[in-house]
Chains A and B, each alone.
Chain A
Amino acid sequence: MKKFVAMLLAALLALSLVGANAEADKIEIEFWNLFGGLDGTYMTAMVDEFNASQDKYFINCITQDFGSYYIKLKTAVSGNEAPDFCISHDDYVWGLVKEGILEPIDQKAEELGVDFIWDNYIEKLDMLRFDGTIYAVPLDGVLRIMHYNKAICQAAGLLNEDGTLNIEPGLDKWVEAFEKVKAAGYAPFVTREKGSHPVYLFNALYYQFGGTQPWIADDGSSVTIEKEPAIAALEAYRTLCSYNFEGVDSVSEIFLEGNTAFCYDQSASAATYFEGLGENYGAQSTPQWGETRKTAVYSHTFVLPVNADRTEEQTRGALEFIRWFGINNWGWAACGHMPAYKPVRDSEEFKADPLHALYADSVDMPTDSLTYGAPIAMKGSAEMNDPLYEVGRGEITAEEGYEKIVENLEALLADYQ
């Protein structure tokens, strides 16, 4: 028995040594990301491609748990154990800069002579500048779009001959459409009421119903969310939720089962839905429920954490990778995200992709809808989600919801003063 255990241990050790991959003569650069599952597969493929494309740098890609990712990042920076570069959500960048976790990217790039063409990145970059300095480079635009089941829409008389929807803009028109679906014996609509999803839906509605100011002033000094658009958006949010499957998280499964007409979900799910529903699958950009056509987008970004041990060559390598990632952005956007590097939108691959074509017009929706205020109102944060949940379930009115949101955001800002 003892012998057996010893042999087992030895075998495990041997296996593990074979598994450890280091390429001796390359400069190793540590890169943390938080992509699990399918996103993770795409990211690993991109890193592998970069490593194979040149022989100076080796990017060591390490996936960390997203649940405690930022704690780990902050503690690692303070202990000088930070990675050479890593991923951050756009809405965390502001806080990380304030806490002294990040280094400016554009200055480093200029020092080291890595040539970025900043104008080629999506407008998002404007909000990742602090005092005119760039701290984060977006790698995508994560979109929410309306997926639909053509067979059901056909049965409810909502489909044009070319497979697009014949629903006019306006919340009342969409309510009519939902009622028609119900009359045809199907479930109308499914969306998530947990995580970052409610905030994005609300954000799109807020700008659609006339919001012009971000929720929080860009310098983080005050809450600037406007009352009337916010209340109109909360009422619309309530209306949409009243057609939703109550208390559900497994949105994809429900939509794939094929008894639900509409599914408001991220664009990266398109490929899976298309695979599941086949020719019955359709999609369009976020519908116009309010007065204007607007959508909400967020980004994953590359950032440089403070790291005294990082050599100049490692910094250069990290920046080279970030630049390469922009130019080769299609390899990442192919999984369904909006490309962050504008020239990619003119590329053949992008234009030829049948799924991206369905919602490519999201890009043309006015850019002010892309901004997110001083992004410390983190997407899944309780400050926004708790009131939204209660409004969505009809437990409180839109006015009360608005007041709670303002109260919560003010409390949040107080902690950052």
Chain B
Amino acid sequence: MKKKRNLGNPVGVKDYEGYLFLIPLLIPYLIFTFSMLATSFGLSFTNFKLNKPLEFVGLQNYQVLFGDKKFFSSLLNTLKYVAFTVPCMLMIPFLLALMLNSNNLRARGFFRVTFFYPQVIAVSIITVLASYIFQPYTGLVNGLLQTFRLLSPEVEILWLADKNLVWVTIVIMAVWRSAGYNMIIYLAGMQDIPDSYYEAADLDGASGLQKTWYITLPCLKSIHVLTLFLQLIASFKVFSQIYLLTEGGPSGATRTYIQYLYETAFNKWQLGRGSAAAIVLFLIILLVTRVQLKISDRFSD
């Protein structure tokens, strides 16, 4: 059954030609990323410590991981983050792009800059800002709410110190920072939808909502898939923006998986176990993204 010759390339294209274009990327990739990944995999079976001889310990690192309560609680926290942010990061940027894509919008450039500019600022700076802004008693958010009488002066909202509310704060910060990123991708996609589609719909007397639902949304299918894919991976790997804001607190409520990995590897200097934790995350992400792509494929048929 295996087709030997014809790989389906256009006439006159040699089967190796793809490699010519791939190799410039492949070489640095294999040296600087893939070999590191392989090393990390190897190290996860050792008791690696920088200045001590390497010792093979089999699956011990994985056993210790699966016996650690913190491993599961931090994994759960990361799953929470994924569940909260991924839908927000698809819907809000889509709505923003929709607004910015409306005909005859004035100062479109200004609004584009508005929603995108937080991308320009380093995470470390944003978290410092956020910790000042969401502070009770002295912070901007509570101050504004009180100034405009939306909150009684005696009441303080504990944006960062409440175990549940802290997630709202984290999601707000993530949306504020990153919505513009996906918005730009959506916007680029929306600009590529031929005007004739909308004109045809106008002739049929479609409402704005209908046009969005039946034209814009389906036409951006490949972008939805791409954005969801990238957003899933990014959300699973969330670390510094939470760590720098809450240090994993209050009382471990926001300790993410990568924070657990980071602390295991670097504070406790258990580099082998840290590598094992990385491999576990790798497998989880691999699984989730494959499933996601499978489902997307099915829907597209």
- Residues of A at the B interface (CB closer than 8 Å) are 67, 70-71, 74-75, 77-78, 95, 99-101, 193-195, 245-250, 253-254, 257, 378, 380-382, 385-387, 389-390, 393, 395, 412, 415-416
Contact = CB atoms under 8 A, between A and B. Distances in A.
A385 B60 CA distance: 29
15 contacts: A74-B50, A74-B266, A74-B269, A75-B50, A99-B49, A99-B51, A100-B52, A246-B158, A247-B161, A248-B135, A248-B136, A249-B131, A378-B267, A390-B251, A412-B268
A250 B138 contact: yes
A253 B138 contact: yes
B270 interface: yes
A382 B252 contact: yes
Nearest to B160: A247
A78 B162 contact: no
Given A254-B137, A382-B252, 15 more contacts: A70-B266, A74-B266, A99-B51, A99-B269, A246-B156, A247-B136, A247-B161, A248-B161, A249-B160, A380-B247, A387-B251, A389-B249, A395-B251, A412-B268, A416-B268
Chain B binding surface SS class = loop
A246 B244 contact: no
Given A67-B244, A71-B266, A389 B160 contact: no
Nearest to A190: B137
A100 B51 CA distance: 7
Contact of B247 (A194, A245, A248, A378): A194
A378 B158 CA distance: 27
A318 B240 CA distance: 35
Given A67-B244, A247-B162, A386 B135 contact: no
Nearest to A65: B124
B58 interface: no
A415 B49 CA distance: 12
B177 interface: no
B142 to A, nearest CB: 11
Chain A binding surface SS class = loop
Interface residues of B, number: 30
Given A247-B162, A249-B131, A389 B269 contact: no
A250 B161 contact: no
B255 interface: yes
B248 interface: yes
Contacts of A101: 51
Contacts of A386: 249, 251-252
Interface string B103-117: 000000000000000
B251 A389 contact: yes
A246 B252 contact: no
A246 B51 contact: no
Contacts of A380: 247
A250 B140 CA distance: 12
Contact of A245 (B51, B137, B255, B270): B137
Given A70-B266, A385-B249, A386-B251, A247 B50 contact: no
B213 interface: no
B87 interface: no
Contact of A415 (B50, B156, B268): B268
A250 B249 contact: no
Contacts of B160: 247, 249
Contacts of A254: 137-138
Nearest to B240: A67
Contacts of A246: 136, 156, 158, 161
B218 interface: no
A253 B143 CA distance: 14
A194 B166 CA distance: 15
B136 A78 contact: no
Contacts of A378: 267
Nearest to B50: A78
B255 A382 contact: yes
B72 interface: no
Interface in B120-147: 131-132, 135-139
Contacts of A250: 132, 135, 137-139
Contacts of B249: 194, 385-386, 389
Which of B138, B160, B251 neighbours the largest number of chain A CB atoms within 10 Å of its CB? B251
A412 B161 CA distance: 25
Interface in B43-70: 49-52
A322 B218 CA distance: 69
A193 B247 CA distance: 12
A390 B131 CA distance: 21
B250 interface: yes
A71 B262 CA distance: 10
B136 A245 contact: yes
Contacts of B263: 382
A329 to B, nearest CB: 31
Contacts of A385: 249, 251
A75 B269 CA distance: 11
A247 B251 CA distance: 12
B292 to A, nearest CB: 33
Interface in B20-59: 49-52
